Amino acid sequence: MKKVYFDSAATTQLRPEVISCMTDVLKNEYGNPSSSHAFGRSAKSVIETARKEVASMLNVSASEIIFTSGGTEADNLVINSSVRDLGVTRIISSRIEHHAVLYCIEQLQKTHNVEVEYVKLDGCGFVDFDHLEQLLKNGTKKTLVTLMHVNNEIGNVLDLKKAAEICKKHHALFHSDTVQSVGHFELDFQEIPVDFAAVAAHKFHGPKGAGFAFIRKNTGLRPLIFGGEQERGLRAGTEAVFAIAGLVEALKISYKNLPTERAYVSGIKEYFKEKVSEVIPGVKFNGGCDDSKKSTYTLLNVCLPMTPEKGMMLLFQLDLKGIACSKGSACQSGSSKGSHVLSQILSEEDMAKPSVRFSFSSFNTKEEVDYVVECLKEFVAA
């Protein structure tokens, strides 16, 4: 059976070079990085070299990079500690954030009586910056704004610099979930005044279970996990040296190849959009994903013209044909609820139709697009 992987927004295929790098570290750098002997010092050197290389790619200080188990932990570390340790009593976010942010905020609202406000979105799901500024002007409480850079379901790209500058102007802290953008977009955190960011390696062809938080120096954040003094005292626990090595190897390759791979993947996305529009009349693209200037080049969220009853079988039928895609965030795949992102921007009529996220990488081909579009055409017409 032919197999096509169009779900890179959920996770990406490991690069061969990353596997080789991690295998080498697993084999040779098995010392505990906190140990003072030569084996430990050697493992520690791997981590600190990785930290410096990551910091260099984002134009920040090495001390501002804290390795975590991924984006969810990084989001939780920043948001929880901002309330507990920095005196934040008000959080501004949007209703289409990843659940790592939304559920964290909801919990803080219950347990710490944090005031939560949501910025307005336009019909395509883009942040209303005038409303954000109005919210910040009208508040007197210490505020954290948390807005994702690239939406993981519809691909909308936030003007990160504009959002950060508005927050800075009004003396609010700014956190961004950059899980879908680091490794795919150039980011300079000296030029973009974010205070905090969250990153996951498995979104740019690195290993699962590895990520980092960017924490601007002198913010005063404290740990969520207590124990040893690893990660500048902000994240206790023996580090996964091989995973950290894999993270930085994947990130280095992603940025080295970025111009070439961005052009290639953009071509795959545009080809998919053209082909599916050509063979399925009435197809729609959700959010801003069909606008190359306002969305990531890595995904399309497609609303297909079919009944809800038929749509319920769509992913199952595609899976039978070897096609991997998603109805939304992989983190919510066990939920019976519809997409919380699409519910904010689609009409009731379109919400009843099946929407599918197809996300791409440099491992994909136009031949795979042809196969997937033909399978969609057959299913819609049946």
Q: pTM here?
A: 0.95
Beta carbons of 270 and 331 less than 8 angstroms apart: no
At how many degrees (to 10) do helices 241-256 and 16-28 cross?
Answer: 150
Last residue within a domain, chosen from 200, 222, 256: 256
Pair (102, 126) in one structural domain: yes
Report pLDDT for 142. Answer: 97
Rg, the chain, Cα only = 21
Report pLDDT for 334. Answer: 47
Q: What is the CATH number of the domain that holds 239?
A: 3.40.640.10
Report pLDDT for 217. Answer: 94
Count CB neighbours of 346 within 10 A.
21
- Amino acid 297 reads Y
375 lies in which domain range?
Answer: 4-12+258-381
Pair (252, 303) in one structural domain: no
Q: What is the CATH number of the domain that holds 286?
A: 3.90.1150.10
Pair (320, 348) in one structural domain: yes
Pair (247, 262) in one structural domain: no
For residues 111 and 236, give the distance between their C-alpha atoms in angstroms, rounded to a whole number: 24
Beta carbons of 76 and 146 less than 8 angstroms apart: no
Looking at 124, 325, 331, 375, which residue is catalytic? 331
Beta carbons of 279 and 373 less than 8 angstroms apart: yes
Pair (206, 351) in one structural domain: no
φ/ψ of residue 8, rounded to 5: -75, -15
Count CB neighbours of 271 within 10 A.
16
Last residue within a domain, chosen from 210, 239, 256: 256
Whether 167 is catalytic is no
Pair (251, 266) in one structural domain: no
The total domain count for the chain is: 2
Per-residue pLDDT of the chain (382 residues; tens, 9 = 90+): 799 999 999 999 999 999 999 999 999 999 999 999 999 999 999 999 999 999 999 999 999 999 999 999 999 999 999 999 999 999 999 999 999 999 999 999 999 999 999 999 999 999 999 999 999 998 889 999 999 999 999 999 999 999 999 999 999 999 999 999 999 999 999 999 999 999 999 999 999 999 999 999 988 899 989 999 999 899 999 999 999 999 999 999 999 999 999 999 999 999 999 999 999 999 999 999 999 999 999 999 999 999 888 988 999 999 999 999 998 655 544 445 789 999 999 999 999 999 999 999 999 999 999 999 999 999 998 7
For residues 145 and 94, give the distance between their C-alpha atoms in angstroms, rounded to a whole number: 9
Report pLDDT for 239. Answer: 97
Pair (228, 266) in one structural domain: no
For residues 114 and 112, give the distance between their C-alpha atoms in angstroms, rounded to a whole number: 5
Pair (245, 339) in one structural domain: no
**CA proximity to 239, closest of 57, 51, 59:** 51
The CA-atom distances, in angstroms, between 70 and each of 43, 66, 108, 134, 222 are: 20, 11, 21, 33, 18
Query: For 14, which DSSP code?
Result: P
Pair (267, 252) in one structural domain: no
In the block, residue with structure tokens 């920095």: 86
Report pLDDT for 336. Answer: 53
The SS3 assignment for 284 reads strand
Last residue within a domain, chosen from 233, 256, 279: 256
Pair (36, 8) in one structural domain: no
Pair (207, 288) in one structural domain: no
How many residues in the chain?
Answer: 382
Pair (125, 184) in one structural domain: yes
